Structure 1
Amino acid sequence: MNRWVSWLAGAALVAAAGGVVAVTPSTDTRNGPFLVHGTVSDTVASRELVVTVDSASFADRVTVSDDDWQAEGNWLVVELSAAARQTEVEASMRLATLVVDGREFIASERPSTSLIGTELRVGIDTHGMLAFQLPTDLEPSDAELRLAGPHSTPRLDDVIVVHLDLESAARERTIDILEPTIGESS
């Protein structure tokens, strides 16, 4: 009988170890970002940023008029306002991604007037645009815009997530990516 008790105790320990492994979060979960959700027109605040997404529009071509730069394709242009929350030291938006149907797209840095990397002020909105080049065959109905501060790979930090309803997004032939402006929008 002692032998059966040992076998049962061993089996119970193996089962308990399997349960601990099953409920232990992965490294990505333990070190991943904290998502702060919002919607278009809402002001959403993370530890480092305060953001309001104004609109999202599709374009067949994006341009930068002062730079003579242009690119054809399936572009999603997001207009938004951003400000630093607590400090202006290294205050900028470095991470801007669009998650569509499980696929992630990074905001293009090709337009010289993109809001990416623009210095932000505490309490004063900087209005600007982000442009995402999407595959031509992609026909999304909705997406998540993810924005974070000066760290391009936030770990254990906030990431702002704004849901975008792309079915209602307007389509324009050309959108000029305007230079970011500080203060009141024009």
Structure 2
Amino acid sequence: MTTMKAKVLPWLLTLVLLAGAWTLVKITLPVGSAQEPFVTVASLGETAHARNLAVTVTDVHAARSVVDAEGWSAEGAWLVVDLEASSQVTQQYAALRDATLTAGDRTFSATDRGTTFLGQALVTGVPRSGSLAFQLPDDVLDDSATLRLALTNSTLDGVIELEIDIAAVPVESEVTLQENGWAR
């Protein structure tokens, strides 16, 4: 009987170790996840918070032309995002510098042409408002996309993401970008 235990015990121990290794592999985060940003999922009309950034996306427009208050205009396929944003902890280096829209495997940056909210300095606890504009290929207007907003493009900072069904947004002939200013 003792020899049988001596033969079975290593096999049982091997099975226990294999099960433990399999469990460890399943619960371990993927390679590179330590460099991923902290993502906060946002909803239209609701304030989302990510470390030093608070954002409320108030409206989304699709347009064939955009105009700003200073007279700049551009034709094409545009997605305009109206938003309010503030810093939460400090206003030092707090500006909305990273605004991208990802549709499928393509990523588009917010335009810096005209008067947009891109690069707008933020104040702690006091929301400012404005618009971001993305010039897109026509086929993206029939797609869905992920809006990604952050203070920097650093992978270790907080990021706010909002899913947008662009196909459900009616295409307007012209949209005027909001003037950058204090939120109402």
Same fold (TM over 0.5): yes
Which position in structure 1 is the counterpart of 2:129? Answer: 127
Q: Which runs of 5+ in 1 are unaligned?
A: 1-12
After superposition, where does 1:50-129 map in structure 2 within 5 Å? 50-72=54-76, 74-100=77-103, 102-129=104-131
Q: Distance in 1 between matches of 2:110 and 2:166?
A: 19
The alignment's TM-score, normalised by the length of structure 2, stands at 0.78
> In the alignment, is the contact (CA less than 8 A) between 1:105 and 1:132 conserved in 2?
no
Give the secondary-structure state (helix, strand or coil) at the position aligned to 2:42. strand
Q: Distance in 1 between matches of 2:147 and 2:75?
A: 22
> What is the total number of aligned residue pairs between the two structures?
179
Report Cα offsets for 1:25-60 as digits up to 9, x if no partner.
Answer: 454322111111121011101101110001111001
Give the secondary-structure state (helix, strand or coil) at the position aligned to 2:115. coil
Q: Which runs of 5+ in 2 are unaligned?
A: 1-16
The alignment's TM-score, normalised by the length of structure 1, stands at 0.77
Match for 1:177: what amino acid? L
Query: Which has the larger Rg?
Result: 2
1:44 paired to 2:45: no
Give the secondary-structure state (helix, strand or coil) at the position aligned to 1:39. coil
The sequence identity of aligned pairs, in percent, is 30
Alpha-carbon distance, 1:110 to partner: 3.4
> In the alignment, is the contact (CA less than 8 A) between 2:62 and 2:170 conserved in 1?
yes
Cα separation, partners in 2 of 1:38 and 1:65, compared to 1, 3 Å: closer
Which position in structure 2 is the counterpart of 1:171? Answer: 171
Q: Which of structure 1's runs of 4+ aligned residues deviate more than 4 A?
A: 16-27
Which position in structure 1 is the counterpart of 2:149? Answer: 147
Which position in structure 1 is the counterpart of 2:6? Answer: none
Q: Distance in 2 between matches of 1:104 and 1:148?
A: 18
Match for 1:33: what amino acid? P
> In the alignment, is the contact (CA less than 8 A) between 2:127 and 2:182 conserved in 1?
yes
User: Structure 1 residue aligned with 2:35, among 26, 31, 34?
Assistant: 31
Cα RMSD (Å) of the superposition? Answer: 2.9
